[in-house]
Amino acid sequence: MILDVYVENQPIRVEIPENMLSEGEEFYAKMDKDMDGGWKMGPTYVENPDPIMRAQIAAAKMLSAIDNENKTLMQLMAGYIVTRIPGVKAVKIDTQGELLNTEIIT
């Protein structure tokens, strides 16, 4: 599976191995549990992030993975997004530190 990611209008095609989607579910469930307690999204603390907000959080982690050239974490975060947002086509990651401005395109 492929997720198109845009960072400052630069396209990055993230190829997610099929086995990562199923084998990563335990990791994804832990991420969900961590976010169940709320999350600071920019200046705002969100008590119970909705699925889009959770995808925005994962996208921020993906940006960090891209910056650090951590391909595995990049694929895991892309996998989280595609498993939690059915039909997602692309993600445009905000690089100005405002998670809520990251676009999830379906």
Q: Per residue in 56-105, pLDDT tens? A: 999 999 999 999 999 999 999 999 999 999 999 999 999 887 888 999 99
Task: Report the C-alpha gap between 74 and 57 in whole angstroms.
Answer: 13
Q: Looking at the whole model, is its pTM more than 0.75?
A: yes
Each domain of the chain, given as residue ranges in start order, spans 2-105
Task: Report the C-alpha gap between 68 and 103 in whole angstroms.
Answer: 22
The distance in angstroms from the start CA to the end CA of the chain is 15
Task: Report the C-alpha gap between 74 and 80 in whole angstroms.
Answer: 10
Confidence of residue 44 (pLDDT cuts 50, 70, 90): confident
Structure tokens that stand for 106 in this block: 């379906």
How many beta carbons lie within 10 A of that of residue 46, not counting itself?
Answer: 18
